[in-house]
Amino acid sequence: MAAKAIENSKLIYVEEETTALELINEYGPEHFIICCKNEDLFINNISNAGSVFIGNYTPESAGDYASGTNHTLPTNGFSKAYSGVNLDSFTKSITFQRISKEGLLTIGNTIELMAEAEGLQAHKNAVSIRLKDLKNE
């Protein structure tokens, strides 16, 4: 089985660690194993990986079976957009917000500019009308 896997494997050699990091983040691996002297560079700058395994004593199989991390991970580069399946994957969330008069006066112009830029006049008007009323108080 290992010989067959090696037949289908690729090796990409790069001179610079920063180049390797860029390549890894672009590829978005399901599993990313860090075993190098400068591990902090990779730990602090990895942005696309399903799960990261750090050091010589952290094999992928530990994450799969015993260390408590997720085993259901995004494949085929999908770690650039998705996390592994976790409890949040099975829950629904609702966001709540309350803006004070002062708050709307502070962010209102920004909302108007962004709504205008998107061509959403009714969204802009929803703020403009309120701002006009507040400024006339």
Tokens linked to 46:
């990895």
Residue 123 designated active-site: no
Among residues 7, 17, 22, 30, the one annotated as catalytic is 30
DSSP 91: -
Q: Which of 74, 27, 31 is nearest to 52 (CA)?
A: 31
Among residues 31, 60, 112, 123, the one annotated as catalytic is 31
- As a 3-state breakdown, the chain gives helix, strand, coil percent values, each rounded to 5, of 50, 5, 45
Determine the residue type at 66. A
Residue 22 designated active-site: no
Catalytic residue annotation: 30-31
